[in-house]
A and B are shown apart, each in its own frame.
Chain A
Amino acid sequence: MKKIKRILFYYHSLSILKKFLLALLFGVILVLPFYNFIFLSMLEMKHSVNSVNSELIPLYEVSCDNILLLENIVSEINSAVSSKEIEWIETSNKHAEKIRKNLNNHLNSNYAKEIQESIIAFDNYYETVKKVSKKIIKNNYFYHDIENDTKTLIQDYNKISMLLKNLKSKTKNDIEKNIDLIYENTNFVLLKGSYIFFIWFFTSTLIIYLVYKDIKYRIKRIVEDSKDIARGDVDFEKRLCIVSYDELGQIVRSLNIFINKLHKKHEELLEAKKELDTLYITDRLTNVYNRVKIDEIIDIACKKKETFSVILIDIDHFKLVNDTYGHLVGDSILKEFATILKESARDTDFIGRWGGEEFIVVCTQTSKEDDISLAEHLRAKIQDFYFTRVGKKTASFGVAASRENDDAESIIDNADKALYRAKHSGRNQVVCYK
């Protein structure tokens, strides 16, 4: 298992070119045993050809020659005996010499045993034939031992004749065997050659196909991972899986680096957007919502058909403060005022600056009575608060609860009307619109 993992790791660390070269390499490795066979066959063939050329063919020729020479000897001696010419017998010596020479020349070949035997048999025969033929001539075909002598002669002749013929047929057989061997080896080489080609071809093709499949699978994974990341809201937490260490791996790494950078930029942008959003909906002086946000909240609440209340708050005699103490003191009063509102409001209340010295509180998910009591509570708190430099200040409250068919405008308008009445009824009081 560990080995397989190591092999796979090694495989994944190869470049695509090397992976494809693997196909050729494996082809060659599989082909090597067959090549080995071919090489051995070629050696055998070479050996056969050498043996046929250097040994067998000359030996075969010599064997044929020897058989002819033996016939020559027979014919010479036969004619000598027929003509009763003892001197003629000696003329066969040259043939005998030739036979001996021929045989001795090939004494070192693989047929040494047969040749040795032939030499002995020939010498034996030649001695006998000369002796017997001379005897026959001298005795005019008639002497006591003629039968035994001729019998021995015939035996000797048949023996040498047989040996020479055997040598011939043996060499001939061996030549045929060698040629058969060459033929077989050639066939073998051709067959193995075809095998080599096919095995190499199929192995290479198979491995190329597997490598292609693997690369295709990994590309698919990259594509799917990319899609996964890009699907819907881009998930910048995800990264592409590094599938290998080749060119595809490099692509994946590059993409991951790219995604990292995008992620970073995206977060920066998000941060910036958040800041911008906050700036967009916040009143910069008092740090409460501005009209934009409050309008949006009221719109949403109206659309949801929720019951909610709007409390409009106006600081009493604020113009006087601005005129007496200057705008900077006015601003600080506004800040302190907003702080009181924020501290006293509940989680479900949205506080905003409506403009100038007017503030607004949108109360959601609460009852009208609660809202009125909140307004009362706020009024009391402001009344008790000691503002910087200015001292005590009061504020008027106009409360309007939402009713059916109310829209943003109408409810604000209702609240405004309530506030107006509060102002005219002597300020520092809460008036609910009815």
Chain B
Amino acid sequence: MSSHLLWILYFERVYCMKIILLLLLNIYFLNAQIVIVTNKNTKIENLPKEIVQYLYLAKINKIDTIKLEPILSDDEALHDQFCNTILCKSQSQYNSYWARLVFTGKKSISKKLEWKEIVKKLQDTNTIAYIEKKDLRAEWKIVYEEN
């Protein structure tokens, strides 16, 4: 009786651990690594996180006289993750922030682009975009990478 009970207990523990492990794995895969990329020919090498934040929050639009155009992705999950990890803002905070910029007449909300459009846009120099690291292409270079 007791050994049976023990078995059950053991089995449940293992199962639970498996579920937790699976969940963790899942999260790991969902939170794919985000990188900020630009065209290889852009004269920017590395950007600190703050500068990336400033660029995406429209606080600045150029670095050392090089004008940079931030590109948004229409991938909800990626965008959400980008907001959370790089801009350190929740999606609603990000939206409120941009709403404020719009209504006080400072900056318009940029269009969110499909993958194809992003690729096309990145053919131009002086554009930056956030992508999953796995989607990195040879003609691009990483200017910022979240560790």
Complex Cα distance A78/B105, Å?
Answer: 11
Do residues B99 and A142 form an inter-chain contact, with CB atoms below 8 A? no
Cβ contacts under 8 Å, A82 to chain B: 92, 95-96, 99-100
Do residues A147 and B108 form an inter-chain contact, with CB atoms below 8 A? yes
Cβ contacts under 8 Å, A243 to chain B: none
User: What per-residue 1/0 map shows which CB atoms of A158-185 lie under 8 Å from chain B?
Assistant: 1001000000000000000000000000
Complex Cα distance A133/B103, Å?
Answer: 9
Q: Name the residue of chain A whose CB is nearest to the CB of B94.
A: A141
Do residues A147 and B109 form an inter-chain contact, with CB atoms below 8 A? yes
A-B contact count (CB 8 A): 57
Known: A142-B112, A144-B111, A147-B111. A157 touches B99 (CB 8 A): no
Cβ contacts under 8 Å, B112 to chain A: 142, 146
Complex Cα distance A77/B100, Å?
Answer: 9
Main SS of chain A's interface residues? helix
Stretch of A148-156, A208-216, A268-276, A412-420 with 4 or more beta carbons under 8 angstroms from chain B: A148-156
Do residues A150 and B95 form an inter-chain contact, with CB atoms below 8 A? no
Do residues A141 and B109 form an inter-chain contact, with CB atoms below 8 A? yes
B67 at interface, CB cutoff 8 A: no
Could you name 8 residue pairs across A and B whose Cβ atoms are closer than 8 Å? A81-B99, A82-B95, A133-B103, A146-B109, A147-B109, A147-B110, A150-B109, A153-B105
Do residues B111 and A153 form an inter-chain contact, with CB atoms below 8 A? no
Q: Name the residue of chain B whose CB is nearest to the CB of A82.
A: B96
Do residues B102 and A154 form an inter-chain contact, with CB atoms below 8 A? yes
A136 at interface, CB cutoff 8 A: yes
B120 at interface, CB cutoff 8 A: no
A74 at interface, CB cutoff 8 A: yes
Do residues A157 and B111 form an inter-chain contact, with CB atoms below 8 A? no
Cβ contacts under 8 Å, A150 to chain B: 102, 108-109
Complex Cα distance A133/B98, Å?
Answer: 12
Q: Name the residue of chain A whose CB is nearest to the CB of B112.
A: A142
Nearest 9 CB-CB pairings of A with B: A150-B108, A157-B105, A82-B96, A147-B111, A151-B108, A81-B99, A78-B103, A150-B109, A141-B95
Cβ contacts under 8 Å, A157 to chain B: 103-105
Given A78-B99, A147-B109, A154-B108, output 12 extra A-B contacts at Cβ < 8 Å.
A78-B100, A82-B99, A140-B95, A141-B99, A141-B109, A146-B110, A147-B108, A147-B111, A153-B102, A154-B102, A154-B107, A161-B105
Closest-CB distance, A145 to chain B (whole angstroms): 8
Cβ contacts under 8 Å, A132 to chain B: 102
Closest-CB distance, B14 to chain A (whole angstroms): 42
Cβ contacts under 8 Å, A81 to chain B: 95-96, 99, 103
B4 at interface, CB cutoff 8 A: no
List the interface of chain B (C-beta within 8 A of A).
74, 92, 95-96, 98-100, 102-112
Known: A82-B96, A141-B98. A74 touches B103 (CB 8 A): yes
Closest-CB distance, A373 to chain B (whole angstroms): 154
Q: Select one of A77, A140, A147, A158 contacting B105, CB under 8 A.
A: A158
Complex Cα distance A241/B103, Å?
Answer: 101
Cβ contacts under 8 Å, B108 to chain A: 147, 150-151, 153-154
Closest-CB distance, B41 to chain A (whole angstroms): 25
Cβ contacts under 8 Å, A136 to chain B: 99, 102, 109
Complex Cα distance A125/B99, Å?
Answer: 16
Complex Cα distance A81/B108, Å?
Answer: 14
Q: Name the residue of chain B whose CB is nearest to the CB of A161.
A: B105
Complex Cα distance A153/B101, Å?
Answer: 11
- Among B95, B102, B107, B112, max chain A CB count under 10 A is at B102
A129 at interface, CB cutoff 8 A: yes
Closest-CB distance, A331 to chain B (whole angstroms): 152
Q: Name the residue of chain A whose CB is nearest to the CB of B98.
A: A141
Closest-CB distance, B102 to chain A (whole angstroms): 5
Complex Cα distance A10/B66, Å?
Answer: 94
Cβ contacts under 8 Å, A77 to chain B: 103
Complex Cα distance A77/B105, Å?
Answer: 13
Complex Cα distance A78/B74, Å?
Answer: 23
Cβ contacts under 8 Å, B99 to chain A: 78, 81-82, 136, 141
Q: Name the residue of chain A whose CB is nearest to the CB of B96.
A: A82
Closest-CB distance, A208 to chain B (whole angstroms): 74
Complex Cα distance A77/B108, Å?
Answer: 15
Cβ contacts under 8 Å, A158 to chain B: 105
Q: Name the residue of chain A whose CB is nearest to the CB of B105.
A: A157
Complex Cα distance A132/B102, Å?
Answer: 10
